[in-house]
Amino acid sequence: MKNYFLFILIALLSVPVYSLDNTDTILNKLNIALKNKQHYVRLKEERILNFKKIKSESFTKEQEYNYNKTLYSEYQKFNSDSAILYVKKNLKLAQELQNKDLSDLAELQLANLYSSSGKYRESEAILKSINKKTLNKSLLPNYYVAYREFFEHYNANSTSLKYIEQIGKYRDSLLGVLNPATLNYKINKIQKNIFDKKFAVAQKQLTVLLENIQEEDSQYAMITYLFGSIYEATHQLELRKKYYALSSTADIKNAIKDNASLQELALVFYEIGDVDMAYKLTQSAIEDALYCNVQFRTLLMSEVYSIINTVYLEKEAKRKTELQLYLLCISLLSLFLIVAVIYVYKQMKKVSRIRGELYETSQKLAELNRDITETNSQLQERNAQLSESNHIKEEYIAHFFSLCSAYINKLENYRIILNKKATAKQFDEIYKMLKSTTLVDNELEELYKNFDIIFLNLYPTFVKDFNDLLIKEEQIVLKQGELLNTELRIFALIRLGITDSVKIAAFLRYSLSTIYNYRTRARNKAAVSRNDFEEMVMKIGLISLKV
């Protein structure tokens, strides 16, 4: 178990942790860089142009040499023709200064540029003309680099084991003269380890370098390219695609035209069947090689381009056939759509006409519905009134029979009393009883009390509702024990439908003028319209009628 966890830990440590972006994000950044490729070129050209503006006639020849050397460095991976121009100027200056070291440096730079642009004979002639024994030690790295790259460029035309051996030989010589602490030494050492198939060692060394370098650094593209080379040799397609994409993006942003990452990435996409992306990358790589005039890159790309271009053209032809088929289908569908639109248009006109007719009909129906609704409301009101009237009749009929029975009993008792007194010849008592109004007063009081009870049983909220129709200061406050007073009884009778003041006066045993005064005074105290007051009194309890 311990060994298992140790293996997991080693595996995790061996995986690079410096790029948190996934492959899709990296490819998205590459596509953005490709779209803005000309922008990066313009930035490079502007930087060079700004540097050129600082040139002054007051430069010494040594200063002018260094000035040209800077421009050579700017143009080396950007435009080899311009780089050659400034190296040749430096050759002339070195001869004028009679400085062998400056002359040798310019010769080595020119040899390197000639080999990259396909002038192998001229490059070889320059290299052979330089005596290594008399060469300044500080220029030995340039010498070995020039020879190594000469064989690398020449090997692009005719792959040979002899040239590969020469490349390895001069790389070893270069490592022998470089300072091991320099980045140049470390990169060349990694290249040697990759050449010797020491992939684990090379990957570990590259991981350390990549952790300490920014994307903007000129060597970032080389480091990520070497990662891609390792994953290509170990057949790890996704990682190969990822690191070649990182390298390509860095080259594009730095306007490096002499690059290998794009063509390697194009091959990756060709292998996975993404011909469109492969063609796009190949086109970009060839444009860069032609712009920079890097002959060996153009030769390397020619075979790849022909294969990818053939597949791309076949795919385009297939697309054209499909497009033609789609166009035919779309044409047929368009024709059908036109017919359908005409048919729908006619149907819509027909529907519109029907809608107009339906609208008119609906308006008439709405009008009829309003009439019916109004009629229903009136009927409901009449029904409510009838229901109320029936209810009142039922209540009063019951009480009427009850009162009649009570009065018959009282009359019978009164007759018996009078008969007894007449038999006993108590005529004075009989006269006294007949002259007294006490019995009538008592009966009236009981009648009004029964009326109040029956009425309030029918309309329990009558007093409150009636007061709501009066202004606040004039609202009626009943005495303790009172159910209704005279004013309330007058309007209680009006609520029951007895609106004739003569009948009201007869029932309450008041004069007609008294009843009239009560009614007038109540209207004057009304919180509502005087004309509507009694009508509103007649509607009290209409909805909440007790059944």
Phi, psi dihedrals of residue 88, rounded to the nearest 5°: -65, -35
Query: Residue 462, Cβ neighbours under 10 Å: how many?
Result: 19
Query: Residue 288, Cβ neighbours under 10 Å: how many?
Result: 26
Q: Cβ neighbours of residue 207 under 8 Å, at least 6 residues apart?
A: 16, 18
CA separation for the pair 294, 258 (Å, rounded): 7
Query: What beta strand segments (E) does 295-338 contain?
Result: none
Query: What single letter denotes the amino acid at residue 535?
Result: E
The tokens 């994409």 sit on which residue?
245
> What number of H helices and E strands is found in the chain?
23, 0
CA separation for the pair 488, 498 (Å, rounded): 13
83 touches 110 (CB < 8 A): no
125 touches 151 (CB < 8 A): no
Say how many Å lie between the first and final Cα of the chain, rounded.
92
DSSP state of 478: P
Closest to 489 measured CA to CA, from 510, 469, 473, 468: 510
Question: What are the structure tokens assigned to 497, written together?
Answer: 């439908």
CA separation for the pair 190, 223 (Å, rounded): 9
pTM: 0.56
The pLDDT score that the predictor gives to residue 242 is: 93
The pLDDT score that the predictor gives to residue 231 is: 93
DSSP state of 134: G
CA separation for the pair 522, 528 (Å, rounded): 11
The pLDDT score that the predictor gives to residue 271 is: 85
Per-residue pLDDT of the chain in tens (547 residues, 90 and over written 9): 444 444 344 344 344 444 447 889 999 999 999 999 999 999 999 999 888 887 666 788 998 999 989 999 998 888 889 999 999 999 999 999 999 999 999 999 999 998 888 888 999 999 999 998 899 999 999 999 999 988 888 877 666 788 888 888 999 999 999 999 999 999 999 999 998 999 999 999 999 999 988 888 878 999 999 999 999 999 999 999 999 999 999 999 998 888 888 888 888 888 888 888 888 888 888 888 888 877 767 766 666 666 776 766 766 677 677 777 888 888 888 888 898 888 888 888 888 888 888 888 888 888 887 877 787 777 676 666 656 656 665 565 556 545 665 666 667 676 788 777 788 777 777 777 777 667 777 888 888 888 888 888 888 889 999 999 999 898 998 888 888 988 899 999 999 888 898 999 888 889 999 999 999 998 999 989 888 898 899 888 875 443 3
SS3 letters for 377-430?
Answer: HHHHHHHHHHHHHHHHHHHHHHHHHHHHHHHHHHHHHHHHHHHHHHHCCCHHHH
The pLDDT score that the predictor gives to residue 394 is: 57
Phi, psi dihedrals of residue 335, rounded to the nearest 5°: -60, -45
Q: Cβ neighbours of residue 216 under 8 Å, at least 6 residues apart?
A: 253, 254
CA separation for the pair 494, 469 (Å, rounded): 15
Question: What are the structure tokens assigned to 204, written together?
Answer: 């570990």
The tokens 């086109």 sit on which residue?
283
Residue environment code for 429-458, b if the CB has 16+ CB neighbours within 10 A, otherwise e: ebeeeeeeeeeeeeeeeeebeebbebbbeb
Closest to 268 measured CA to CA, from 277, 260, 259: 277
CA separation for the pair 395, 412 (Å, rounded): 26
Q: Maximum Cα–Cα distance for the chain, whole Å?
A: 184
CA separation for the pair 14, 473 (Å, rounded): 99
Query: Residue 154, Cβ neighbours under 10 Å: how many?
Result: 19
CA separation for the pair 40, 144 (Å, rounded): 32
Residues in the chain, total = 547
CA separation for the pair 236, 228 (Å, rounded): 9
SS3 letters for 211-274?
Answer: HCCCCCCCCHHHHHHHHHHHHHHCCCHHHHHHHHHHHHHHHHHCCCCCCCHHHHHHHHHHHCCC
The pLDDT score that the predictor gives to residue 334 is: 85
Burial class (CB in 10 A: 0-12, 13-18, 19+), 190: buried
Question: What are the structure tokens assigned to 20, written together?
Answer: 């948190």
Q: Is the dihedral of CA 418, 422, 425, 430 positive or negative?
A: positive
The pLDDT score that the predictor gives to residue 421 is: 77
Phi, psi dihedrals of residue 21, rounded to the nearest 5°: -70, 140
